Structures are given as structure tokens and as C-alpha cells.
Structure 1
Amino acid sequence: MNNSSGVNKSSSLHRQLGGRIERMLLWCGWESDATIANLRAGRTLTNYEQYPLNRNQFIATSLIAAVIFYGAVFLFYHSVFLSFAAASLGILAPRIRRKFLLEQRKERLKLQFKEALFSLTSSLAAGRSLENAFLSTHDDLKLIYPDARTELLLEFQIIRFRLDNGEPLEYALRNFANRAGIDEITQFVDALAACKRSGGDLLEVMKQTSIIIGEKLEIEQEIAVMVAQKKFEGRIMMAVPFVFLAFLSLAAPDYMAPLYGGIGYLLLTGALLLLLLCFWLMAKMMSIRM
């Protein structure tokens, strides 16, 4: 009886530990087997608020980050133990990469949507109905984006399938806007739905809406180009202290020797903390919300 209760407690502890490890991995960017299977089978429509990493992306990102953390800490402390401890933080890198890839995909979708608005406005001005204008826009986008995996091409293909099945256009667009999570697309769909309900001048409303949203996207793109240049300069500034430290360690090891003992470790720790604070401040200043 005691043996069976001990086995039950042990199995319960193992399940709890396994559950905690699984939750930690999911938080870091590891996707469940069910999510990966659904993505491979194409059973779910793309949710642009999420970006699941496949196994290879997760492992490669973790390993690259682990090597970088190991090298950075080893340059400061020349300690294999501390370097391996820092390398274990590489498991957090997939979460950061997932966020970066998510934002990158949304920016691509915004740019593609701006091109679609220009084509849609031209089609409406030529006298096409709204449904036919969207179908024509899909054909125009194929010329601009020859890759069939382009996000907006896939979304317009879904809209075409729904129209062929008799679903109203505004419902198909609303589903796309909800999954995209982009203000410009949501505003366009809201304007279209309001115009169709009220029976207003659809062509004029769509033209004005397209012009306003297109100008907004152009301004955001110009800001993004300027910020991208500063981000590149910031990355160079972040790398310079480590390159300088590596150069001194190789070229003048005797000059650096006093830092690797006694109070020198405190000075190195203070310098590392200040560098991390500077990196955090630069990242915050460059993360402009548009």
C-alpha cells in the first residue's frame, strides 16, 4: 500500500514538473505538437496576432543566442561557469524573435494593403462593382507579388472563395480584419460596412478612405525607414564595447589582468550593467509606436 502511494506521489510530481517545463517552453516560443500539425496541414487561417515558430527556428535561435551570450560574458569575466550560465538564457531568444517576425509580417501586410487600395480605387473609378473590384485587385496583386505565398494574395484568395460560396463581401473582409489586427484594415472595413448600410456614395467614400489610409501608410513607411537607420547605428554601438574588450584581451592581456580578480570583477559587473541599461534605453527610444 505504501509502495503504491509512493509511486502515485512520484508520478504526480513528475506530471507537475513536466507541466511547468512545458508552460515555460510555450512562454519562450515553443509550440505544441497540435499547433505545428495544424499549421502543416493548413487547417487554420492565419492569425496575424500570433507567429508560431517551427522546431528548427526555435532550436536555431536558441543556439545562436546561447553562443552570443556565452561569448559576451566570457569576454567580461573569463569564467566558463558564468558563461555557460549566461548561455542558458538563450532559451529566451525565440520569444524575442517571434515578436520581431510578427511585427515584420504586419509591416509587410500594411505595405501590400496600400498597393491593394490603389488598385481597388482604380477599379471602382472604372465602374466595376465592389465585388468585381476586389476580384480585379487580386489579379493586379499577382503582377506585383509573383510569390503565391504573399500574405495579402492568400487573403484575397480566401475572400474570392467566400464570394464564390455566396458569402457577403463585408463578412469576408471583417473576418480578415479581425485576424489581421491592423488599424488601417479595420478602419477600411468599418467605412465600407457603414457605407453599404447607409446607402451612401460608395465610390466617393472608398476613394477618400483609400487616399487617407494610403497617405497614413506612406508617412509610417518614411518614419520606419528613418528609424531603421538609427536602429542599425544602435546595433553597431552595442557591439563596439565587446569588440574593444576582445581586442584589449588579445592585444594587451597584461593590461587587462588586474580586472580579473578582486575588485576588478565588481568594476566589470558595473560596466556590464551600465551597458545593459544603455542597450535597454536605446531599444525603448527606437521602438516608436505608429
Structure 2
Amino acid sequence: MAAAVQSVLLVGTAAWLFYNTWLAVAALLPVGIWYWHEWREECCKRKEQLFREQFQNGIQILSSLLKAGYSVENAIRETEKDLRPLYREGSRIRTEFERMVRELDMNLTAEQVLTSFSKRVNQEDVNNFVTVFAAAKRTGGDSISILKETVRIIGGKIETEREIQTVLAAKRLEFHVMCVIPLGMIGYMRMAFPEFLNVLYGNIPGVLLMTGCMVVYLFAYRLGNRIIKIEV
């Protein structure tokens, strides 16, 4: 709903600024749909990053419990309890661990439970953790040391991404400000000096020129958005 409202506002503003007619809204619907997809993708990435941080805390607790001598099944149960004061009810990590506990109560093995968890989440760090756990359990190696090292590697990767995002935070703000400035300038000119822009509305050359400006603006937005997205 939030994305839909923002898309409608964006399309309406663009129609008013670039074409001075609400008839342009129909022609600009693809722009609104594109923005909606971009917004949804960004929202999903934020939620994914949040879950990865939650998962990092979860496996750190799980690893410490295994090191203290808990079996894998009991460690999962205790991890679910330890996550309760850290995250609100209904958070993704708590929901997943609560489901794993229910599956353990149904006499599923720890490997089956974690494999099911990995398939549901379908996230790289989770898949790597479960794969390493399953391999260590089958080979009968030092599973605690292997899991501890895996947790350290995953945690280091997440911390690196967090540091990159912190460094890029200022640049991301600058990018958003720069995206607003061209629209703000056109809006200011429309309200303060409407006669300067009237020649661009209601005629084919003006429509073509404003369309070209919009295409350049959208290309610059797309390019800048890709530049500030760095993945590890």
C-alpha cells in the first residue's frame, strides 16, 4: 500500500511538472509500476538484512550452547528461549526457531529440522551453515569447532556489510537529495516564473524535450541507485 501510494504521487507529480496535464498520468503508468517494483525490492533487501543480523545472533547463541555441552536438539530449544527477550513476538527469527522446536517435538531429527529451515528461508548464510552442520554431523568430526568457525566467518561477512552500509549512508543521503533537486527546481520555476516553462507545454517540441529530460533523469537515478548498492 505504501509503495502504491508513493507510485501514484510520483506519477502525478511527474505529469504535472513535465507535461502540465493529468492526461500524462496514463502514459507514465509504466514509470509508476517500475518505481513500485524498485521500492518493493529495496524493502525486501532491508528485511533480508535484518533477518541476517537476527540469524547471526541466533547461531552465536546456538554455538555457545553446543560448546557448553548441550545436544543439538536441546541447543535449538534453548536458543529459542534466549531469543525471546531479544526480539519481539512475531519477528522472523523467533518464528523460525519456534517452528523448529515444534518440529523437534514431532520427533524430527535436528538435521531434518535445520534442512527444512534452510529451504524455507533460502538464504545464502543459512544454507552455508546448515550444509556445514550436516557435513560435520555425518562425518563425525569436531562439529563444535567447525560450527564455531562457520559462525565466525558468517559473522565477519555480516559485519563487513554493515560497515560498508555505514560508510555509504552519507552518500546515500546525498544521492536522495540530488534526486529531489531537479524536480524541486522545475517546481520552483513553475510556481515562481510560470511564463518561462509555458512554452514547453501543449506542443510537440516541448513534449519531446521534457520526455528526453525525464528519460535522462530516470537513467541517472537507476545508475546512481546501482552505484550505492555494494554486496559482499
Quote the sequence identity (%).
29
* Residue of 124, 132, 137 corresponding to 2:66: 124
CA apart distance, 1:224: 2.6
* Structure 1: gaps (5+ residues): 1-56
**Contact kept? 1:123, 1:133, Cα under 8 Å:** yes
Deviates more, 1:185-194 or 1:267-276: 267-276
CA deviations over 1:43-79 (Å, ceiling 9, x no partner):
xxxxxxxxxxxxxx3xx53343122211112111212
2:157 corresponds in structure 1 to 216
1:166 corresponds in structure 2 to 107
1:282 corresponds in structure 2 to 224
> Of the two structures, which has the highest relative contact order with CA contacts closer than 8 Å and spacing of 6 or more?
2
- Tell me the distance in 2 between the aligned counterparts of 1:224 and 1:69: 30
* Structure 2: gaps (5+ residues): none
- Tell me the distance in 2 between the aligned counterparts of 1:245 and 1:85: 20
CA RMSD, aligned part only? 2.0
**Contact kept? 1:66, 1:88, Cα under 8 Å:** no
1:199 corresponds in structure 2 to 140
Whether 1:110 and 2:52 are equivalent positions in the alignment is yes
TM-score (norm 1): 0.73
SS of equivalent to 1:167: coil
- Tell me the distance in 1 between the aligned counterparts of 2:48 and 2:5: 26
CA deviations over 1:121-156 (Å, ceiling 9, x no partner):
2212222222222211111111111x1101010110
**Contact kept? 1:259, 1:265, Cα under 8 Å:** yes
**Contact kept? 2:11, 2:32, Cα under 8 Å:** yes
* Residue of 243, 248, 253 corresponding to 2:184: 243
- Tell me the distance in 2 between the aligned counterparts of 1:155 and 1:122: 19
CA apart distance, 1:230: 2.6
* Residue of 154, 162, 178 corresponding to 2:119: 178
TM-score (norm 2): 0.90
CA apart distance, 1:284: 2.0
2:96 corresponds in structure 1 to 155
1:286 maps to amino acid: I
Q: How many positions carry a matched residue from both structures?
A: 231
Structure 1 residue runs of 4 or more that deviate by more than 4 Å after TM superposition: 91-94
1:76 maps to amino acid: F
1:74 corresponds in structure 2 to 16
**Contact kept? 1:195, 1:202, Cα under 8 Å:** yes
1:131 maps to amino acid: E
1:247 maps to amino acid: Y
